[in-house]
Amino acid sequence: MEAAASIPVPSVSRADAELATLTCAQYLAKHFIAQKGLQPGVPPEASAIAQACDVVLSGMEGVSLKIIAIVDRDVHPGKEFGLDRDALEAIGRECLKYCGKVKRAQMPVIIQVIEVENLASSDEQKRRLRKLRRSSRFGRVVLSGWIVHASASTVWTNLPWNGRLMGRPFIERLLRLPRHEPLSQPSVLTRAAVTPLFTYALIAALFGAYFCELAFATSPVKGTEAGLQTLVALGGLSHPLVAAGQWYRLLSSAFLHLNLFHLVMNGFCLYLAGRVLETLVGRGWLAVIFIIGALGGSAASLLINPPNLLSVGASGAIMALFAAMYVMSFRFEKIARTQLQSRALGVLVPSLVPLGASIGSGRVDYGAHFGGGVAGVMLGLLLVALWPKAEILPRFRKVAAFAAGLGGMALAFSLYAIVQAYPLFAQGIPPISSRSRMRKSRLARPTFCLATPTIRGPTSTRQSH
C-alpha cells in the first residue's frame, strides 16, 4: 500500500500579494513615503511637474523643499519626462518661498527626476537626463536626473559620485532585497526626554574652569577677561608646548575660555545640543562625542593655524555634537528630522563659514570648528550604523561608557599635569626646551574663537565659540 503525503504550500499573505502587483516605480514611491517622510503631490507652483510624470512626491528635507518626479516606463513604455532644465529651474524659484533660511542664507529647492523601467538604459536617455542639472553652482534650485534599471538592480544619475550622497544606496537596497512592507522611520519621541544631568555637569565644569582662571591668574585680569599667560599656565592650546610633549593641552584647552561672554555663548550652545543628544543617544555616547570632538578640534587647530596662536574653548566639541545631530537626523521621521536639522544647521553654518566681520578678524578659530565638525560627522555615521531601527538607543552603550571613563581619566591626568607645571608658569618660566621656547615679543590684543581661544603672535589669542 502506498501512502500519499501532501506537500505544504506556503501561504501568501494579502500584503505580499499586493506588493507583487506594484510596478517598481510604485514600490519605490511607497518606501519614499514611509521612510523618507515624503507625501504624494506638490505645491501649486509645481503642478507642471505632476503633469510631466506618473508619480510625484514632495516634502521638507531639513529646511529645504524636496520634489521627486517618477516616470513609470513599465506602465508607459518609452515615456520621457517632459520638462527641460529651464522649466524646472523656473518652477523651483517659485517654490523657494517654502524653504527656510539659516542665518539669512536661503536654503535650496531639490528636484529629482527618476525614470524607472525593467529595460536597460540607452545612451540617448542618459544624454537627455544628464542635462537636468542646475545651471549655476550657487543656484538655489538643485536638479538631478536618475535612471533605475529594476531587473538589474542598478541606478544611474548625473550627480557626482553617482549619487552616493543623495540616496542611491537607499534605492539600490530596495531593488536588491525581497519586496517588503516599509517600516516607518523611528521618532525621537519614542523615548521620553531625560533630565540632561551630564550636560549640566559639563556646563558646570566649564564654569568651574573659568573661576579657576580668575582665582589662579598669573597676570592681571581685565574685567572678565583672563590674561594670556593665565590661559597658557592652565592648559591653553599652544603649538610649541604641545610639540614639547605637553599633549594634555589637546583636551584641557577645551575647558578654558577667554572671558565670560565666550563662556556663556559656548555654554548656551552646549545646552542646546546636549539636552537633545542626551535623550537621543544616552550619556555615554554623548560623552564620547564631546571628548573626541574636543580632540579633533584641537588637532585641526594645530594643523591649520599658524604655530604662534594660542587657542582655548569648547567649540570643537560643540561642533561635533551638532554635526553628529545632523547626520543622525536622517534616521528619524519627517517632523523630528526637520527639527534636528534646523537646530544643527542654525549653529553649524555660521560657525563653519567665515561671515561678515569675522573674516580676517582673527576672532574665531575655524580650524577647531572644522576639526570638531569632521569628528562629529564620523561619529554620527558610526552611531547610525550601530543603531538598529527596532531599538530606541544605539548599541554598545557599555563600550561608550568605558570610553567615556577613559576620557575622564585623560582629563584627570591633564589636571594633574597642569597642577605640576603651574608653579613654573606662575614664575614666568614655561617648562619647555629652549629650542621650543616661544620668542619674546610685545603682547598683542587678544582675539576670539568659538571653541578654543587662540594666541596671535607669541602671546595673542583666538577664541573658539
- The catalytic residues are 315, 369
Yes or no: say if 63 and 342 are a contact pair by the CB < 8 Å rule.
yes
The DSSP secondary structure of 184-234, one letter per residue, reads: PPPPGGGSPPPP-HHHHHHHHHHHHHHHHHHHT-SS--BTTBPPHHHHHHT
Helix (H) or strand (E) holding 311: strand 310-312
Chain CA centroid to CA 210, Å: 29
| Cell numbers 606662575: residue | 426
The DSSP secondary structure of 345-374, one letter per residue, reads: HHHHHHHHS--GGGTTTS-S-HHHHHHHHH
Which amino acid is residue 258, in one-letter code?
L
Distance set, CA 112 to CA 65, 143, 283, 437 (Å): 11, 6, 39, 58
What is the per-residue burial (b if ≥16 Cβ within 10 Å, else e) of 211-241? Answer: ebbeebbbbeeeebbbbbbbbbbbbbbbbbb
Chain CA centroid to CA 415, Å: 31
